[in-house]
Amino acid sequence: MISRRRGIVTLLALCVPASLFAAEEPLAFSVDDATQSYTITEQGQPVLTYRFGEVPLPAGVEAAHFGKDSTPYNGAYFTDGSRFGGERSDYIYPLYGFHGEQLTADYPADHVHHRSLWWSWCEVRRHDKIGDLWAVCKIRAYPERITKMEAAAEGAVLQAVNVWRYDDDPAAIVNETVTIRACPTTGTPGSRSRTVDVDVRLEALVDGVAIAGRQKVDYGGYGGMTVRLNPDIQEFSMRAVHPNPDKWRGDDLAVVERVTDQNAWGDAAWMALYGKYPAAGAATPDFTTIMMFESKATPLYPNNFRYYGTTCISLAFPGWTIVPLVKGQPLDYKTRFVICEGKTTIEQEHAAFQAYQQ
């Protein structure tokens, strides 16, 4: 269903009353036309909101600026005083828990360019030209159209097309199609789970385009599919399972459990994020787990992970590797998030990983 403020219409049937589907369609859409925000709901409770339209800087928040040096780019960052972290679109905010609590953060004070649950790359190249989609600097994703919005008993699907443009050139260089799928909640209160798939297709519109993560710094390689968690999270910890991880300074964080046992888990790779989030009416909230998976079809699988004390966590495709986007050869980047009540075991996480890869 779609709810446009006061009106409700069904998406699935022609000339059939929406009431006939009410028992079979727990998932629906609520659309805010003014902000072009699309919220998937379940039994009236929010699951996630996709920000298709531009999200302005909140009151009292200012964009940041890179420093200045003798060269405009030092191989990792712009050094020409460029503005970053400003207005943006094309991301999910918030991702919700089962009690309406917000699991993610937008415009956090320490990194204003972080945006809840998003997909971006620190280097978007065209020949020698570079824009930083991660930091929202010199390049942006611009909304084009919503191509699918369907709610059914098996889930809700939202598909949006955006184009990437450099700030100084009106010509689009990449066509991006994002498909967001939310499945109905399973389980009983206290042990519920919900699956959200975020699939991104990138199609070069011009020659000479490539993407990469942050280059030439020891904490770099980040980019790809990323979450920034609610800053009010309590008792945060995480498990990172990877058969052959690179050496990463985030491994020294006390909150990180690194698992590399190929005999036990084979080539499986995932992250599980644990924490307690403030929820209205819950004086002592329990743990919520967010699992993050990338499809084995992703180039360079298993890609490495990046995680920081700021609770910014990336499935870091493609890391330091520069990946060309070739005209006529779309690149598909598919990921899954599983949100669970309670703190999951490694066996439960592995089972969810295997279910996703089937």
Can you say how many angstroms the Cα of residue 20 is from the centroid of all Cα atoms in its chain? 34
Please report, for residues 114, 184, 275, the alpha-carbon distance to residue 165 in angstroms, rounded to integers and kept in the order given: 20, 36, 37
Residue 161 near residue 145 (C-beta atoms within 8 A): yes
According to the model, what pLDDT value does residue 141 have? 99
Q: What is the DSSP string of 32-57?
A: ETTTTEEEEEETTEEEEEEE-S-BPP
Question: 311, exposed or middle or buried, with CB in 10 Å at 0-12, 13-18, 19+?
Answer: buried
According to the model, what pLDDT value does residue 249 have? 85
- How far is 322 from 312, CA to CA, in rounded Å? 22
Can you say how many angstroms the Cα of residue 131 is from the centroid of all Cα atoms in its chain? 20
- How far is 177 from 160, CA to CA, in rounded Å? 6
- How far is 354 from 293, CA to CA, in rounded Å? 10
According to the model, what pLDDT value does residue 3 have? 45
Question: 240, exposed or middle or buried, with CB in 10 Å at 0-12, 13-18, 19+?
Answer: buried
pTM above 0.85, yes or no: yes
According to the model, what pLDDT value does residue 21 have? 34
Counting other chains too, the contacts that 232-237 makes at CB distance below 8 Å and 24 or more residues apart are: 232/277, 232/278, 233/275, 233/276, 233/277, 233/311, 234/275, 234/276, 234/277, 234/278, 234/285, 235/274, 235/275, 235/276, 235/287, 236/273, 236/274, 236/275, 236/311, 237/274, 237/275
**What does the pLDDT profile of the chain (358 residues) look like in tens digits?**
444 433 333 333 223 333 333 334 699 999 999 999 999 999 999 999 999 999 999 999 999 999 999 999 999 999 999 999 999 999 999 999 999 999 999 999 999 999 999 999 999 999 999 999 999 999 999 999 999 999 999 999 999 999 999 999 999 999 999 999 999 999 999 999 999 999 999 999 999 999 999 999 999 999 999 999 999 999 999 999 999 999 888 888 999 999 999 999 999 999 999 999 999 878 889 999 999 999 999 999 999 999 998 899 999 999 999 999 999 999 999 999 999 999 999 999 999 999 999 9
Beta bridge partners of 231: none
According to the model, what pLDDT value does residue 248 have? 86
- Nearest to 79, CA basis, from 87, 70, 89: 70
Domains defined for the chain, CATH in brackets: 2-357 (2.70.98)
According to the model, what pLDDT value does residue 282 have? 80
Who contacts 26 (Cβ-Cβ below 8 Å, separation ≥6)?
A: 42, 43, 153, 184, 185
